[in-house]
Structures are given as structure tokens and as C-alpha cells.
Structure 1
Amino acid sequence: MKKIISYIPGFILALMIAVVATWIEMLLPIHLIGASVIALFIGMLLNPLIKKNKLIGKGINFTSKKILRFSIILLGASLSITTILQVGRISLAVMFFTLLTCFGGGYFVGKWLGLNWKLSNLISAGTGICGGSAIAAVAPVIDAEDKDIAYAMSATFIFDMVMILLFPIMGRAIGLNDMAFGLWAGTAINDTSSVVAAGYAFSEAAGDFATMVKLTRTLVIIPTVLVFSLINARIKVNSQNLNEQASKKVKITTLFPWFILAFVGMSLLNSFGFFPAALSSTLKDISKFLMVAALAAIGMKTNFSEMKQSGFNPMIHGFIISSLVVIVAFIVIYFMGLV
């Protein structure tokens, strides 16, 4: 009981920041920036003031790890495999090439820029799947550091800010129809709120289709976290130079973390209709809010000076990969005859 009480001050502070960040997001006339990014930055600004505060330290650490995992589990209740069928094979074809660009191209770009594989793949996941949610989901299974999470969030956020403004202008200049623009925006812009903002800035029909495509992209979180869980487990085994006998002792919970199994289980239950639409929507809202709180906690644990050590290379990585995704998505759409 005493241990639980020690978590309360830091947890409440993270929740308060999440409330403020959500309120700021609602005040914005256009969703240029999501609450998760706002909370992350507020937390980072508070870091110098609270980094040595033992009263809230345990709660912040608890929120950044345990609450983050719990929010990911709840996120699964809002995902449905049937969404793929609603959008159709058209968006899946584009997503295949954009994801190949993100993770394939991201690997070589990360090597070229000298980034560690965790930061490189966090940026690729955020760019290829769904921004902050993908970064939050992948980070725990690869044991990413808080500064890597913060840098990956920043890299994808900055590009999204630019794309919200440029995408509608480029779409009209190129002469895209509503479906083509919705498909382009839904597969090339990172965060959900940014996709919605850019899509509806073009037209209502484009916004509707872009949102549906984006929801389909979110489903890719499931296989992505499973693959990275296996990769990280393999790297741990190799780095520790374990012998064959020790390797046999690797547990299934190491390969597939419990919260990811729970996440997949929730998405399957939702796919088979076990969650009413109202409950699924409520769980998604709770998941989103808790994720904002977790990112606030991560921000409070992140020091600007530590991020500076990585220089501008992570931002360059994010810009290159995001730009390639925009180009590849358009080329695929063009050859599909939708332009």
C-alpha cells in the first residue's frame, strides 16, 4: 500500500499536464499539434525543476512505463481487422510501399547518419504508421530510452506541422480528386490529428477517406510491435553471448511482452464484435488521455542537454524518410491510375 501511495504525486502531476495539454489542443482553431506532443514539451520544460524531486520521481517513472503500457492495451479495443475490408485493397497497396520505404530506407538512412537502431526505428515507426501512438507502442518492446522517444516524437511532429499546411495546396496544384488526395494524405502524413486536419482542409469527402485510410494504417501497429519484440529479444541474446543451453531458457513473455499480447487480444475481441461501439470509443478516449499523461511523464524525465548530444541527425532522418514516403505514396497512386 505504501508503494502505491508513493506513485500518486507523480501520477497526478502527469494527469494534470495531460489535462492542460488536451485543453490547449481544443483551443487551437486548427489541430496543428496534438495533445501528446504538447504534453511532451510541457514535461520537458518542467524537467529542470522536478528531476531531483524524490516525492514525484516514482510516480513519474510509473506513469512513463506502466501507464504507457496500459494505454496501449486499451488502444487495442478501438482497432478492428474489419477496417481493412472497409477501405479495400487500394490503400493496402500504397501502405505496403510506404512502410517498405520507412523501415527499409530508414535502416540505411539511420546507418548513414550514425543513429542507434532504436531511435532510427522509432522515427520510422512514427512516420510509417501513426505518429506518437506507434512510437509509444514500439518504444517499450525495444527498451528505448526516454530521450529517443522524445526525439522521435519531435522529428515526426515538425514534419506534420509543415504537411498540414502544404498538403492541401499541393493536392489542388496537382489536381487530385477527393479519393486520391484522401489516400495520399492518409498514407503519407504521420499523426491522426494531422491527417484529419489536412484531409478536411481539402474537402469533406477527402477528409472522410483520409481518416479511414489512417485507421487502417494504425492496424499495422500489431505486426510491427511483434516483429520488434522478436528483434530486440534476439539482440539481447546475442549481446550477452548466451550459450545454447541458456538460450533455451528464454521465455515466451520475453519474446512477446504481456502488454502486447493483451493489446492484440483486445483488438481481436473488438474485431469479433465483443465491444459495443460506445464502449470501444470510450476505451479509445481513455487510452488517448493516458498516453498523453505517459508522454508528459516521459517529457519530465527527458533533459534537453541529453537530446542535444544527438545533434540534428534525428531531425534529418525524419525529414528524409517523411519526404520519401510522400513521394513514394504519390508515385504508387499515380501508377494505380487514381491521379
Structure 2
Amino acid sequence: MNFINKKLSQILFPFVAIILILLPYINEQVAKMASGLAVISGILLSLIFGNPYPEKTKFIASELLTWSIIGLGFGMNLITVAKVGFSGIGYTVIGILLTALIGLYIGKILNNKKDISILITFGTAICGGSAIAALSPTIKADSNSISVSLAIVFLLNASALFIFPALGHIFNLSQEQFGLWSALSIHDTSSVVGASMQYGEKALEVGTTVKLARALWIVPVTLIVGFLLANKLSNSNSSVKAKKPWFILGFLAAAAIATWVPWAKAPGLFIKHISENALILTLFCIGANLSKEALKNVGIKPFIQGIVLWLIMASVTLICIYFSIINV
């Protein structure tokens, strides 16, 4: 039976991936559903049959996401990017500090392990898996803490792809409001892009821009947290290497070319279109990377910390955006 499952999964994984990539060409409504379908398809296939290509899907999820985000820059205006980035400094600082205080307090109440609590908190505050990967070596988190934190963030990201667009329509958010809410409330850039793609073109532009501006805070926060807390945590070695968010510079460079090089606009829009389709494959691979073993490692207390913190911050952010306390 295991042999049959393995052979079937080896056929199903590439077949489903190809179908998903072709979905946006059916019609506009199907295209909006493609990102959500990609994640859920990857999760179901992995949990039911097992992922026969774990190394390949991890590589694709990491590398293709990076290049896809850079490609999206060709569809952006750098003046808009700069405007959004600078206008959001105030609420970004307040949001990160508030999330940190609430998250660490919840972790303390639940008596969660310090490194897990810190990773979940700052993964929620900044940029999900990227922040966790960058912060893990700094605080010397062990591999189990890292895998648990990543699994929690991943599950919440997958949920956001379906929950956020539905709530956006219920509250009648504009595309700009939805893009901002997604960027400030969804952990990872890939899920921000996936959710905002379903809502509209302008939502995608705002969501991607704000999220990448927020991701820039990985560097200073990692340095600050490392300086304040590293000596108080476990001295065990981490198996995860810090990821430098260099793709942010690539995104800005692409946006600059699209803004100030007239002849590059047409090919730039084509690159953006290809990048959006590549993100569907990326989301499928992200879903496929969730294994049964990872789910077993997610203890109830860390999960409670992650979901309660996420619900609080997402709700507060939605209220602020809905009543125009926070604007793009």
C-alpha cells in the first residue's frame, strides 16, 4: 500500500501543480481562487499521500518566492512604494512593539518555552517564517522550537488565504484597505500576496508594498532582540541559517526600472504576469511542505499563543483600518 501511495503521489504532485498553474487562464473568478486552491491542494496531497519531493518543494518554495516577489516589482511604481513605506513608519513601530508586548505576555502566562514564545511573537510582528529563520540563530533556538514555530505560522497563513478575502467582502473593505490589512495582519509575504491577489490588483500592489516595507524591520529587530535576549536563552546550536532579505532590494530595483525606464514598462508587465503565476506554484509547494510529523510537533500551548496573538492583532488592525485610524 505504501508503495502504491508513493507511486501515486509521484504522479499526482506534478500533475496537480500543472493544473493549478493553468487555472488563471480559465477565467477571472477561477484566477482569484487559484492561490487558495494551491495551498489547500499541497496540504491535502502531503497529508494523505506524503510529499515525494520534499527537498524540491522546499527549494522551489524558497527560491521561487524570492524571484516572484522581485518580478512583482516590475508592476509597481517606486514613488508609490516610497510613499507607503514612509507613511507607515509610525504604525509599523507601534504595531511591532504592541505585538511583542502582548505576544511575550501570552507566552509567559502559558509558560511556553522562551525561544518558542519569542519566535512566534516576532514571526507575528514582522514577517512570519522569514523573521523566525532570521531570529533563530540569534537567540540560539533549538530545531524543535523552530519547527513548532514555523508550523504554527504556516497553519495560520494557510487559514488567512481563505478567511481574509471573505472578511474583506463582509466588511466591504476597499482594495487599498484590504491590502493594508493583509500586510499588517498576515504573517508571511507569500500569503499576503495570495490573499490580496484574490481581492484585486490594487490590493495586491498595496499589500506587497506594505509587507515588504515591514519586512525591512527584520534586520534591526533581530539585532535588538539578539542583544537583549540571546544570553538568557538556550546555548543549543540552531540548524537554521539566517536569511538575508535581499529580495527587498531586488523588488525596489525592479520598481525603479518600471517607474523611470519608459521602454521597460511593457516587458515589465509581462514579467509581473509570469511572477503572479509562479506564486501559485510557490503556494502549492508551501502547502506540500507541511508534514504529519510537523503537525504532531505543534503543542497545544504554543498554538494557543500563536492563534490568540494573531486574532488580537488582526482584529485591532481591522478596527483601526475600518475607522480610518490607519490609512495607506
TM-score where L is the length of structure 2: 0.62
Which of 54, 67, 70 is matched with 2:60 structurally?
67
Aligned residue in 2 for 1:277: 268
Please name the residue that 1:305 is paired with: 296
SS of 2:257's partner is: coil
Query: Which secondary structure state, in structure 2, belongs to the residue aligned with residue 150 of structure 1?
Result: helix
1:216 to 193, 201, 209: 209
Task: Establish whether residue 165 from structure 1 lines up as the match of residue 156 from structure 2.
Answer: no
Contact conserved, 1:40 with 1:297, CA < 8 A, in 2?
Answer: yes
Distance in 1 separating the partners of 2:13 and 2:114: 29
Indicate if the aligned counterparts of 1:102 and 1:128 stay in contact, CA closer than 8 A.
Answer: yes
The residue aligned with 2:195 is 194
Matched, 1:42 2:31: no
- Distance in 1 (alpha carbons) for counterparts of 2:65 and 2:176: 31
Q: Is the 8 A contact 2:179 2:203 kept in 1?
A: yes
Structure 2 residue runs without a partner (length 5+): 1-7, 137-142, 187-191, 259-263
Q: What are the superposed Cα offsets for residues 269-301 of structure 1, whole Å, 9 maximum, x if unpaired?
A: 324318752364156336524533532442247
Task: Say whether residues 1:267 and 2:261 are aligned partners.
Answer: no
1:239-258 equivalence runs, <5 A? 239-240=234-235, 257=243
User: Which string of whole-angstrom CA distances, capped at 9 and with x for unpartnered residues, describes residues 3-22 of structure 1?
Assistant: xxxxxx99987544544566
1:74 Cα deviation after fit: 0.9
Partners in 2 of 1:117 and 1:21 — Cα distance? 40
Q: Kindly provide the CA deviation profile for residues 57-116 of structure 1, in whole angstroms up to 9, marking residues without a partner as x.
A: xx413532x333322431441347644335475555444433443344323323333445
Residue by residue over 1:240-280, the C-alpha shift from the partner in whole angstroms, topping out at 9 and shown as x without a partner, is 499xxxxxxxxxxx9864xx364244234324318752364
Shift of 1:153: 2.0
When residues 285 and 121 of structure 1 are mapped into structure 2, their CA distance, relative to the original with a 3 A threshold, is farther
Q: Label 1:32 to 1:140 Cα distance change in 2 as closer, same or farther (>3 A).
A: same
Give the aligned partner of residue 249 of structure 1.
Answer: none
Secondary structure in 1 matching 2:67: helix
User: 1:73–1:263: 8 Å Cα contact kept in structure 2?
Assistant: yes
Q: Supply the distance in 2 between the matched residues of 1:241 and 1:147 (Cα, whole angstroms).
A: 16
* 1:314 aligns with one of 297, 303, 315: 303
> Contact between 1:50 and 1:300, CA under 8 Å: does it hold in 2?
yes
Residues 129-186 of structure 1 show CA distances to partners (whole Å, capped at 9, x for unaligned) of 6xxxx43434543367445433222224435644433444345xxxx8x588557645
Confirm whether residue 85 of structure 1 aligns to residue 69 of structure 2.
no
**Residue identity in the other structure for 2:297:** E
Q: Closer, same or farther in 2 for the Cα pair 1:319/1:157, shift >3 Å?
A: farther
**Number of residue pairs matched by the alignment:** 289
1:35 & 1:151 partners in 2: Cα distance?
A: 20
C-alpha RMSD of matched pairs (Å) = 4.8
